[in-house]
């Protein structure tokens, strides 16, 4: 049975279109035409009218946890489901569960959990992001130093598995050679650079080798200074896509604004770096041999370890989009592109997610005039509707 959704306004290929009819079949968009189009095929179709603005469902490439669960601590299919459901309520219809620096056994368990999700055609799971363990101790952030190491053959075998969807691996280029980056890219692994103290020239070598992204721009990377551009300078000058955590904690507003102006909507993807707190009720969760606690600051919620180290975020993607519009002066159109389309291009999934076009999944969110999130649709189903 077809379903036709009539909408007031929808973002299609970067352009606003009004009074449109979105036809959905088998969870995918089959057509987007003017509602008044008398030529559209309405045979065996049910019609529904939605008031508001429709934009693509959000795509998050950096999700450490949600719903009270950390992927590292419970790398299972059940945890994947919990994390995905926690973020879906905030409009994230596609995500990459992210495993931060850990031991080989946990890496293997995480890959197995993602494999199960992919095999079951989980609607939210596009693949997996391994953020570490091949990082710089000097820029480890909250990552456990004892687990940081050079890449092994066993780990390469996991990253190049063909049953775990699209794989993203974040590495520090001073710890992973250009030859290894080339080998990963040859196997269709997306290599991002981050948690690194590398100088500009070393970063350039990694980009030439095939790295195409930067993990949480500005955070845990060699800074831009007068005589050393560092990883930040390399990222801003490159064509690579940069993840950006716009939560009022990781970045000064003007730093985020600068990045958006330099890179544009096609060079920035919004990410959450979310921990278990998103969609969960716990203020404190265990994290390896320490704890992460949520506190309220004048600029919003903040996650830290007892020594004050920033430890991921309790940000959701819809809030990230709102921060961009309200605080950075970014248009809703550009914020939507950064929250969905750019990430789908980065992960080579743009024909399936991240934009509303025929053939893509019917993943979208509905906003009211104040940009409040009113509805979330995934594969043609409204998520708050009873099955």
What are the residues facing 7 on neighbouring strands? 20, 50
| Alpha-carbon separation of residue 173 from 81, 203, 268, 339, 373 (angstroms) | 33, 6, 21, 27, 39
219 is in an annotated binding site: yes
Question: What are the CA-CA distances from residue 25 to residues 4, 81, 253, 356, 362 (Å)?
Answer: 9, 25, 42, 14, 9
Is 84 labelled a binding residue? no
312 a known binding residue? yes
Using CA atoms, how far residue 135 sits from 100, 141, 215, 298, 368, in Å, is 10, 10, 12, 32, 42
Asked if residue 218 lies in contact with residue 191, where contact means CB atoms within 8 angstroms, the answer is no
Distance between CA atoms of 339 and 139, rounded to whole angstroms? 26
227 is in an annotated binding site: yes
DSSP secondary structure of 314-331: ---HHHHHHHHHHHS---
**Rounded to a whole number, what is the distance in angstroms from the first to the last CA of the chain?**
16
Q: Is 195 annotated as belonging to a binding site?
A: yes
Total residues belonging to the chain? 387
Please indicate if the annotation marks 142 as binding a ligand: yes
Residue 313 gets which letter from DSSP? B
CA distance 328 to 199: 29
Residue 138 annotated as binding?
Answer: no
211 is in an annotated binding site: no
Is 103 an active-site residue?
no
* Helix/strand/coil for 277: coil
Q: Identify the active-site residue in 112, 273, 289, 316.
A: 273
Q: Which residues are catalytic?
A: 273
Q: Which residues make up each annotated binding site for Zn(2+)? A: 131, 195, 216
Per the annotation, where are the binding residues?
131, 142, 195, 216, 219-220, 227, 250, 310-312
Known binding-site positions for substrate: 142, 219-220, 227, 250, 310-312
């Amino acid at each position: 049975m077809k379903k036709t959704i009539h909408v007031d306004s929808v973002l299609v290929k970067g352009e606003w279109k009004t009074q449109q009819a979105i036809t959905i079949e088998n969870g995918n968009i089959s057509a987007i035409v003017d509602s008044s189009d008398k030529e559209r095929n309405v045979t065996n179709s049910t019609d529904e009218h939605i008031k508001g603005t429709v934009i693509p469902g959000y795509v998050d490439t950096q999700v450490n946890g949600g719903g009270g669960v950390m992927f590292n601590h419970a790398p299972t299919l059940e945890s994947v489901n919990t994390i995905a459901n926690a973020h879906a309520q905030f409009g994230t219809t596609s995500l990459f569960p992210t495993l931060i620096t850990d031991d080989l056994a946990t890496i293997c368990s995480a890959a197995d959990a993602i494999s199960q999700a992919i095999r079951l055609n989980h609607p939210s799971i596009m693949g997996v992001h391994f953020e570490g363990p091949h990082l710089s101790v000097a820029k480890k952030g909250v990552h456990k130093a004892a687990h940081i190491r050079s890449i092994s053959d066993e780990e390469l075998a996991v990253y190049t598995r063909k049953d775990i969807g699209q794989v993203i691996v974040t590495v520090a280029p001073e710890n992973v050679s250009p030859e290894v980056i080339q080998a990963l890219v040859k196997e269709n692994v997306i290599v991002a650079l981050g948690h690194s103290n590398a100088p500009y020239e070393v970063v350039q070598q990694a980009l030439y080798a095939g790295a195409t992204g930067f993990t949480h721009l500005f955070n845990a990377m060699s800074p831009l200074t007068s005589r050393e551009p560092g990883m930040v300078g390399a990222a801003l000058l490159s064509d690579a896509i940069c993840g950006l955590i716009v939560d009022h904690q990781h970045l000064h507003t003007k730093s985020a604004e600068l990045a958006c102006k330099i890179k544009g909507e096609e060079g920035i993807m919004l990410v959450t770096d979310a921990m278990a707190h998103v969609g969960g009720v716990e203020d404190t969760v265990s994290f390896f041999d320490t704890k992460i606690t949520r506190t309220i600051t004048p600029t919003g919620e903040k996650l830290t370890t007892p020594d004050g180290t920033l430890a991921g975020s309790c940000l959701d993607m819809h809030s990230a989009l709102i921060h961009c519009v309200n605080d950075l002066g970014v248009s809703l159109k550009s914020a939507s592109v950064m929250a969905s389309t750019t990430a789908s291009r980065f992960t080579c999934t743009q024909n399936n997610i991240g934009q509303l076009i025929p053939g893509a999944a019917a993943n979208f969110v509905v906003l009211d005039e104040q940009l409040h999130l009113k509805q979330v649709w995934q594969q043609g189903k409204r998520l708050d509707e009873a099955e």
